[in-house]
């Protein structure tokens, strides 16, 4: 096990080093931009995975949190002349956390599907606010006229510099989310996901854990929103539209629910495929929708599951007909039903 | 006074339109526990098909019926091929309908282009009615009446027919209903078809008010969901009451706080969630 762990750490470090070296490889700026987008949406997708994959809550309100922190950056810079990175980040994330604290109180009044519907309605209300409250948000025109501030004295205005900055942010978020998922708190979340009634009987405050996960996921998504505002140096209503919420959810499902790294891969696929397809055809949304439906129908465990299966087949071929491998997503012991 | 009366009537008309979406939504969820996110996409497709038929010279009401039938056929196909396996799995069903909503949205854009289109009301109802100091489009009054009739018809169907009895039994206890030898799968198909038909025909009936444009489905979805949250998911009466409330709130919101009109819907939704999470007429599960 320790050998495997060392291998894992080594390969992760190698992957991170490779990713950090990308701007020096002479790739066109276009691809570096797409990778930057991948890291940003990867943070959003991983934080949604904390909810969907580890807590069992499907939220459509993530775009509201993504967009709120993005708008905060823009409003602070253009209307309050607050451009310094750390104070702006703090205020943006604080506002997002406060909004999530309010939304969580309302949405968690509903169970299951009702929760989903409420988060969707809440997201659309925030979108409507950004769209219609022209004096603050600029309405459909959004807000431009702010630039990336230096961080730790580093100038981020260049594509490569900002790429490395988002990569660093991604790694920090990944490490924090992985730590959360592995902590006792993360274990309780999984218990809440699989056996809410049993967890309640064991004395865990199920709703409080769901609430905490909801707010934590919102803050991480807020980090992605801040980065996206700086990436575009522009914010608009589309940043908090249902389309964005759906796109992030598709990344999570495409990549593999409950795996953290899967949603990151899903983000890469969605960013690259949608850009490649939109160069080829206007109907890329249709194709992306079809891919998404196909994944739902035929590969519920997403890219990670497909990868596992490919590895298993390759492994079995290498070993000859080896022993049957264990299922990719083992069902919780004792079946799905509540005790 | 005139201001309030005028907006109240506008709000009722808008709410009547929302009911055509919410009715199918709540029936489908109540029986099959499928959250059909594509319901507003059905509405949009219905509106476009109706518009095409109107341009071809088909009378308005027949166009509504035909568009409803076309959407119903598409809905049945989606249900038969994809959805009917996922009754027990609410989440997969919801995510699937989301995928179909995205695809239908893009197909509509491909088929009918991106320009907003306005739809004329039927000629016989194109005039205005003078009610004291109020001037009100006759078609909007017609829509209010029509939607009330649909609500009454659906209630009769649910309470007074054999099919309604099967539906109510299925809502209460699907397994027991099956155990009694009742073919509940047929009721599933009928309810899904009915929901799709109402949304498709509603698209034509509502299009003189909303117009038809890409993104209309996305604009209506939160309103439809607000209706369901307020009325109580699965309740037909709740869907009607919720529709009228949301119609009124959003219309008065637009008139009184034009910058925050979308936000005003939040007020009843938040109040309901805080005080009565199962909705006004919903049942505790």
- Alpha-carbon distance of B98 to B87, in angstroms, equals 15
Residue B61 to chain A, least CA–CA distance (Å): 31
A299 vs B: CB within 8 A: no
pLDDT of residue B285: 56
| Digit-coded pLDDT (tens) for A126-139 | 888 888 888 888 88
The beta-carbon neighbor of A131 closest among B102, B262, B273 is B262
The model's pLDDT over A242-256, given as tens digits with 9 standing for 90+, comes to 888 988 998 999 899
Using alpha carbons, select from A44, A222, A46 the residue that is nearest to residue A126: A222
Taking CB atoms and an 8 Å limit, are A125 and B261 in contact across chains? no
8-state DSSP, B235: -
Chain A hits for B41, CB-CB cut-off 8 Å, are none
Name the most confidently modeled range: A59-63, B2-6, B88-92.
A59-63
Residue B136 has pLDDT above 50, yes or no: yes
Instruction: Give CA–CA dist B79/A194, Å, rounded.
Output: 28
| CB pairs < 8 Å spanning A and B | 124
For residue B30, the chain A residue with the least C-alpha distance is A113
Burial (CB count <10 Å: 0-12, 13-18, 19+), residue A139: middle
Q: How far is A108 from chain B (nearest CA, A)?
A: 9
Longest dimension (CA), chain A: 69
Contact yes or no for A228/A251 (Cβ under 8 A): no
- Residues 174-213 of chain A with CB under 8 A from chain B are none
Pick from A112, A125, A282: which is nearest to B90 by CB?
A112
Residue of B nearest to A245 (CA): B98
User: Which residues in A lie closer than 8 A to residue B261 (C-beta atoms)?
Assistant: 128, 132
Q: Which of residues 122-151 of A touch B (CB under 8 A)?
A: 122-125, 127-129, 131-135
Residue A162 near residue A168, CB atoms below 8 Å = no
Taking a C-beta distance cutoff of 8 angstroms, is the pair A40, A264 a contact?
no
Task: Using CB atoms, pick whichever of B94, B106, B259 lies closest to residue A135.
Answer: B259
The SS3 assignment for B118 reads coil
For chain A, the structural domain boundaries read 28-238
* More confident position, B90 or A34: A34
Q: What residues are paired with A235 via a beta bridge?
A: A143
Mean pLDDT to the nearest integer, A58-69: 94
Q: Which of A55, A101, A132 to mutate to test the interface with B (most CBs of B within 10 A)?
A: A132
Percent of chain B's residues with pLDDT above 70: 99
Provide the shortest C-alpha distance from residue B257 to chain A (in Å): 10
Task: Say whether B103 and A289 touch across the interface (CB within 8 A).
Answer: yes
Determine the Cα–Cα distance for residues A134 and A140; give it in Å rounded to an integer: 8
A281 compared with A323, residue with greater pLDDT: A281
Nearest C-alpha of chain B: how many angstroms from A121? 5
Whether A286 sits inside 8 A of B33 (CB atoms) is: no
Question: Does B92 sit within 8 Å of A296, measured CB to CB?
Answer: yes
Q: Which is more confident, A172 or A15?
A: A172
What is the average pLDDT across B221-233?
Answer: 89
C-alpha A1/C-alpha A11 separation (Å) is 15
**pLDDT over threshold 60, residue A322:** no
A58 near B CB under 8 A = yes
Q: Chain A partners of B256 at a C-beta cutoff of 8 Å?
A: none
- Which of A106, A241, A285 lies at the smallest CB-CB distance from B270? A106
> What is the rounded distance in angstroms from the CA atom of residue B239 to the CA atom of residue B146?
15
What is the sign of the dihedral through the CA atoms of A245, A249, A254 and A260?
A: positive
Q: B233–A114: do the CB atoms touch at under 8 Å? A: yes
Task: Report residue B112's pLDDT band, with 50, 70 and 90 as the boundaries.
Answer: very high
Point out the least confidently predicted range of A83-92, B17-26, B85-94: B85-94
Q: Do A121 and B226 touch (CB under 8 A)?
A: yes
* Average pLDDT of the residues in B199-214: 94
Confirm whether pTM is higher than 0.95. no
pLDDT at B274: 81
Least confident span in B41-50, B76-85, B255-264: B255-264
C-alpha distances out from residue A79 to A15, A73, A150, A215, Å: 40, 10, 19, 27
In chain A, what percentage of residues exceed pLDDT 70?
94
pLDDT, mean of residues B56-84:
95
- Looking at per-residue pLDDT, the higher value among A272 and A300 belongs to A272
Quick one: average pLDDT of B133-159? 92
The residue whose two tokens read 């489905």 is: B217
Interface test with B, best of A293, A299, A331 (most B CBs within 10 A): A293
Of residues B96, B107, B269, nearest to A296 (C-beta): B96
Q: Output the CA–CA distances (angstroms, integers) from residue A263 to A249, A253, A257, A300, B133, in the order listed.
A: 9, 7, 7, 13, 60
**In this prediction, does ipTM exceed 0.95?**
no
For the structural domain made of B2-275, what CATH number should be given? 1.10.3470
Which chain A residues are within 8 Å of B110, Cβ to Cβ? Answer: 282-283, 286
Indicate yes or no: CB of B229 within 8 angstroms of CB of A114.
yes
Show residues of chain A in contact with B106, CB under 8 Å. 283, 285-286, 289
Q: What is the pLDDT of residues A277-292, one digit of tens each?
A: 888 888 878 888 888 8
Does residue A336 carry a pLDDT above 60?
no
């Amino acid at each position: 096990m320790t050998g495997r762990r060392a291998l894992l750490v080594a390969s992760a470090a190698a992957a991170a080093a490779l990713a950090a070296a990308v701007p020096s490889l002479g790739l066109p700026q276009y691809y570096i931009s797409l990778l930057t987008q991948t890291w940003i949406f990867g943070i959003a997708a991983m934080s949604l995975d904390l909810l969907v994959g580890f807590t069992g809550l499907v939220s459509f309100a993530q775009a509201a949190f993504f967009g709120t922190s993005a708008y905060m950056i823009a409003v602070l810079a253009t209307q309050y002349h607050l451009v310094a990175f750390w104070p702006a980040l703090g205020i943006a994330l604080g506002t997002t956390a406060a909004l999530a604290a309010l939304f969580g109180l309302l949405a968690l009044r509903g169970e299951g599907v009702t929760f989903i519907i409420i988060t969707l309605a809440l997201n659309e209300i925030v979108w409507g606010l950004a769209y219609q409250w022209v004096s603050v948000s600029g309405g459909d025109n959004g807000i431009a006229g702010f630039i990336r501030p230096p961080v730790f004295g580093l100038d981020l205005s260049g594509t490569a510099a900002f790429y490395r900055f988002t990569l660093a942010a991604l790694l920090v978020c990944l490490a924090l989310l992985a730590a959360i998922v592995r902590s006792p708190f993360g274990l309780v979340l999984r218990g809440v996901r699989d056996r809410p009634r049993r967890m309640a009987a064991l004395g865990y405050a199920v709703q409080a854990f769901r609430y905490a996960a909801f707010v934590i996921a919102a803050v991480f998504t807020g980090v992605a929103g801040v980065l996206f505002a700086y990436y575009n140096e522009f914010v608009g209503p589309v940043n908090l539209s249902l389309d964005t919420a759906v796109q992030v959810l598709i990344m999570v499902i495409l990549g593999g629910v409950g795996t953290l790294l899967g949603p990151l891969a899903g983000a890469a696929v969605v960013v690259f495929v949608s850009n490649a397809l939109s160069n080829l055809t206007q109907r890329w949304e249709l194709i992306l929708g079809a891919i998404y439906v196909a994944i739902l129908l035929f590969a519920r465990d997403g890219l990670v599951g497909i990868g596992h299966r490919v590895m298993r087949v390759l492994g079995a071929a290498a070993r000859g007909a080896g022993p049957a491998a264990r299922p990719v997503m083992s069902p919780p012991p004792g079946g799905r039903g509540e005790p | 006074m005139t201001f309030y009366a005028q907006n109240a009537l506008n709000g009722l008309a808008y709410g009547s339109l929302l009911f055509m979406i919410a009715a199918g939504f709540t029936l489908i969820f109540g029986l099959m526990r499928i959250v059909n996110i594509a319901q507003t996409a059905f509405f949009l497709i219905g509106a476009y098909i109706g518009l095409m038929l109107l341009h071809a010279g088909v009378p308005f009401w027949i166009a509504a019926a035909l568009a409803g039938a076309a959407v119903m056929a598409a809905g049945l196909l989606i249900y038969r091929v994809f959805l009917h396996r996922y009754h027990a799995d609410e989440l997969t069903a919801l995510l699937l309908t989301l995928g179909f909503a995205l695809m239908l949205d893009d197909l509509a854009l491909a088929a009918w282009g991106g320009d907003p289109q306005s739809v004329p009301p039927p000629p016989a109802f194109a005039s205005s009615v003078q009610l004291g100091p109020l001037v009100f489009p006759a078609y909007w009054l017609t829509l209010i009446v029509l939607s009330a009739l649909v609500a009454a018809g659906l209630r009769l169907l649910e309470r007074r027919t054999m099919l309604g009895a099967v539906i109510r039994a299925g809502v209460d206890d699907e397994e027991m209903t099956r155990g009694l030898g009742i073919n509940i799968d047929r009721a599933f198909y009928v309810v899904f078809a009915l929901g799709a038909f109402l949304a498709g025909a509603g698209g034509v009936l509502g299009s003189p008010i909303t117009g038809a444009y890409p993104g209309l489905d996305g604009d209506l979805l939160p309103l439809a969901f607000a209706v369901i949250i307020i009325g109580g998911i699965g309740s037909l009466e709740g869907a009607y009451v919720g529709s009228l409330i949301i119609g009124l709130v959003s219309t008065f919101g637009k008139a009184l706080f034009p910058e925050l009109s979308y936000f005003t819907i939040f007020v009843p939704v938040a109040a309901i969630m805080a005080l009565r999470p199962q909705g006004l007429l919903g049942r505790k599960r």
